[in-house]
Chain A
Amino acid sequence: MGTNGDIPTLIVLVLGDSSVGKTSFVHTVCHDQPLSSPPPVTVGCHIEIKLYERRDRHQNPNLFFIEFHDVGGSIQHKNSRSSMFYDEFHGIILVSDLTSRQSYDNLKEWLYEVIRYRSRQKLPTEFTPEVLQNFDIPLLLVHTKFNESNGTSLLNNSKSSNMTNNHSFSSSSLLPNYNRKTTLANFLNCDEIFIDCYSNKRFSIDTPNVAKLNSFFEKMIKKASVEPVEQLPQFDWFASENHYIH
């Protein structure tokens, strides 16, 4: 982890197709309020900083800078992206658009682009599940534009495909909606967030999403820190904005 003074920095890559809402999402998370209008197309990489506070066992606040690298997704810049932005990061957020099925299908390709660059070997151009075996960087899926679509259309396809998935939900499940996951989230074994970045609700009171984001940050901190961090009990239904350990 890099340090600025005495506050360590963690870098998060935000990837996704062009115009899915990465810049809006990062702005909402960092500044707690939506942008006034959709931002222009990101050229290169847009950086936003969030100060994340966690309290350890002695109630001492532990501050971390979370640096979001929001990488522009346009196709012309495909070749220049890798060597610039994929060198150093501690976590990846994959963003897709609920109104476009194509952007959800391309998430695998984004992840694969990063893996191919990092492994520095000649990997085949088709995505296969084996490449994920050595990959243990924390991931988070974000699906934007929740209000404009019938948001659960991606969940209806969770029965399909030949990927190994460890979910036992069938289409007649009685569990509430937010516990069902899309196929990709089950495949990658990570959390996902459904969000509308332009709603008037503040992000910090949107408790289930905040809890998932915070557990993602915790995973990154645990992985990145040199000394072992004590195990935080993951209680989803006791979620609050800062983790208090007694």
Chain B
Amino acid sequence: MSLLIDTIILIISEIVFFIGGYVFFVRQLSENYGVRNQIVILSFAVTFALSCMMFELIIFEILAVLELTSRYLHWLVGLYSMLFLLVFLIPFYIAYLLLNTIKIVRDFRLVLFFTLIAWCFYLYTFWKLGNPFPISNRHEFFSIEQCVSRVGIIGVTAMAILSGFGAVNCPYTYMTYFIKAVSDKDISDAQKRLKQVMEIVALKKKRIVTIEHENSLRAMASSFNSNNPWNYFRRTWNTCLTLQLTNQITSSYSNISLIKQDILTYEEIYSQLYNDFVDLQNIQQRIEYSKTFKGKYFHVLGHFFSLYCIWKIFISFINIIFNRVGKVDPVTKGIDLTIHYFNFEFDVQFYSQYISFILIGIIVVTSIRGLLITLTKFFYFISSSRSSNVIFLCLAQLMGMYFISSVLLIRMNMPAQYRQIISQGFGDLQFNFYHRWFDCIFLLSALFSIGILYLHYRSSQQSISLYDKNFEKIYA
């Protein structure tokens, strides 16, 4: 009986999450790109709903809300269906869509056949992917641990890359507009520069068009003259004329190619300058936004968040060097510290439950929100109207793997008595390995993004100096 009630509660929350995912997808992502394929939208929303259900079950575990057995049962059901989606259904549909757009074969059954072949190939690589890693102690095939372990590897890698990039990008953007104040004069200067480059390009193109026009006029004039074949003197005079004409035409062609090369240089300078101009305007808008009340709040939050990012990079560095993998979660550690140093007496059990609930809740909500925002930005960056279906499915797959691996890693942050559901549900995995792997990839990705940001900064400086150099050449 209680099982039935629990099931009903969970199904209601499932439906709420499903509707939330559906609405998010339709409003944010596909507003301008017109995705009509219902299967894509459905798989995205179902993946989102299942991930949220897993997080919800963790929170219920901490709060001890539902029956133990029913929680465990729903956990297994959610996990199996999620794995089915991620490993079987979505890759199959991706392969099908890709083969459809390539349009090699028209016949529907042949396309399905090729899709099956591609999908078996994908399963094979998926399998082989997990072999070099020391993941699990069992050596059976086709067990849940094998699937989860491999999905976990991919998800943890994705998570670490995204976190690394975010951890570097966040302090950098905050620093640039802490330090650099963009005034109206900067923006109008940038505008003037852009307009000048545009005028130069327009001038050169007009020159080319004029030269071509004159050439065609001369060619027409010369064709009139060469229709008198019987006058020898006139013929030699005409040959001289045509020789002169060809010389003029060839010299003007080399002029034209020189001018065209110049135009290419200027167009490159122009696009770089334009990107900088867009950045400047964004910074100015953000400064204006920060003067409002909500903006001030985010401004202060930004300080703390930047400090947190820097601390995180530092800690992962220390972890790798000193080969340290924590066994105790931060909540229990914090409580121990307060008991030792401040000599407070309070009920450890009671408070640890609520504190860890709050902590896990915050982590869950921020990671979902952060992932959705990153997905949206990433999608706008790489989208094109042709292949948006495939991109959406890849995003759904990435999201599913990300959420499974964040459940894996969240186990670290929970006190030991609440870890049971994850350990039992996922089977026998080497969780410590995942944390080590996350630290490695996180550090690598942070270093890589530092390098990229530095190159970006250098190139924008270079384009301004290039502009100045060329500008003086014109007017010198």
| A208 CB–B CB distance under 8 Å | no
Residues on B with beta carbons closer than 8 Å to the beta carbon of A84: 191, 194-195, 277
Interface size (B, Cβ < 8 Å)?
Answer: 26
Give CA–CA (A45, B197) in the complex, Å. 11
Q: A49-B209, A80-B281, A100-B34 are in contact. Are A43 and B274 (CB under 8 A)?
A: yes
B281 touches A19 (CB 8 A): no
Residues on A with beta carbons closer than 8 Å to the beta carbon of B210: 7, 51
A49 touches B202 (CB 8 A): yes
Q: A43-B275, A75-B32, A80-B278 are in contact. Are A49 and B206 (CB under 8 A)?
A: yes
8 nearest CB pairs, A to B = A44-B274, A49-B205, A43-B271, A51-B209, A80-B281, A80-B278, A49-B209, A47-B202
Interface residues of B (CB under 8 A from A): 32, 34, 191, 194-195, 198, 201-203, 205-206, 208-210, 213, 270-271, 274-275, 277-278, 281, 285, 380, 384-385
Q: Which of A1-53 contact B (CB under 8 A)?
A: 4, 7, 9, 18-19, 43-45, 47-51
Of A49, A51, A67, A75, the most chain B CB neighbours within 10 A belong to A49
Q: A44-B271, A102-B32 are in contact. Are A4 and B281 (CB under 8 A)?
A: no
Name the CB-closest residue of A to B187.
Answer: A83
Interface residues of A (CB under 8 A from B): 4, 7, 9, 18-19, 43-45, 47-51, 65, 67, 75-77, 79-80, 83-84, 100, 102
Q: A44-B194, A44-B271, A75-B32 are in contact. Are A4 and B206 (CB under 8 A)?
A: yes
Majority secondary structure of chain A interface residues (helix, strand, loop or mixed): mixed
- Pick from A4, A44, A51, A76: contact of B203, CB under 8 Å: A4
Name the CB-closest residue of A to B213.
Answer: A51
19 intermolecular pairs with C-beta atoms under 8 Å apart: A7-B206, A7-B210, A18-B385, A44-B194, A44-B270, A44-B271, A47-B205, A49-B202, A51-B210, A65-B209, A76-B278, A76-B380, A79-B281, A80-B274, A80-B277, A84-B191, A84-B195, A84-B277, A102-B34
Cβ distance A62 to chain B, nearest Cβ, rounded Å? 13
Residues on A with beta carbons closer than 8 Å to the beta carbon of B203: 4
Residues on B with beta carbons closer than 8 Å to the beta carbon of A79: 281, 285
Give CA–CA (A18, B380) in the complex, Å. 12
Name the CB-closest residue of A to B210.
Answer: A51
B198 touches A47 (CB 8 A): yes
A50 touches B209 (CB 8 A): yes
Cβ distance A173 to chain B, nearest Cβ, rounded Å? 31
Q: A19-B385, A44-B274, A49-B205 are in contact. Are A75 and B380 (CB under 8 A)?
A: yes
- Pick from B191, B195, B205: contact of A48, CB under 8 Å: B205
Residues on B with beta carbons closer than 8 Å to the beta carbon of A76: 278, 380
Residues on B with beta carbons closer than 8 Å to the beta carbon of A80: 274, 277-278, 281
Residues on B with beta carbons closer than 8 Å to the beta carbon of A9: 206
Cβ distance A100 to chain B, nearest Cβ, rounded Å? 7
Q: A49-B205, A51-B209 are in contact. Are A19 and B198 (CB under 8 A)?
A: no
Residues on B with beta carbons closer than 8 Å to the beta carbon of A49: 202, 205-206, 208-209
Residues on A with beta carbons closer than 8 Å to the beta carbon of B198: 45, 47
Give CA–CA (A80, B210) in the complex, Å. 32
Name the CB-closest residue of A to B188.
Answer: A83
Give CA–CA (A76, B205) in the complex, Å. 28
Give CA–CA (A83, B32) in the complex, Å. 24
Name the CB-closest residue of B to A46.
Answer: B267
Residues on A with beta carbons closer than 8 Å to the beta carbon of B277: 80, 84
A100 touches B278 (CB 8 A): no
Known: A9-B206, A19-B385, A76-B380. 10 other contacts (CB 8 A): A4-B206, A19-B384, A47-B198, A49-B206, A49-B208, A51-B209, A51-B213, A67-B206, A84-B277, A100-B385
Name the CB-closest residue of A to B272.
Answer: A43
Name the CB-closest residue of B to A42.
Answer: B271
Cβ distance B379 to chain A, nearest Cβ, rounded Å? 12
Residues on A with beta carbons closer than 8 Å to the beta carbon of B384: 19
Residues on A with beta carbons closer than 8 Å to the beta carbon of B205: 47-49
Residues on A with beta carbons closer than 8 Å to the beta carbon of B194: 44, 84
Name the CB-closest residue of A to B285.
Answer: A79
Q: A51-B213, A80-B278 are in contact. Are A65 and B206 (CB under 8 A)?
A: yes
Residues on A with beta carbons closer than 8 Å to the beta carbon of B208: 49
Name the CB-closest residue of B to A106.
Answer: B32
Cβ distance A67 to chain B, nearest Cβ, rounded Å? 6
Residues on A with beta carbons closer than 8 Å to the beta carbon of B202: 47, 49, 67
Name the CB-closest residue of B to A19.
Answer: B385
Cβ distance B54 to chain A, nearest Cβ, rounded Å? 34
Cβ distance B472 to chain A, nearest Cβ, rounded Å? 22
Give CA–CA (A44, B197) in the complex, Å. 12
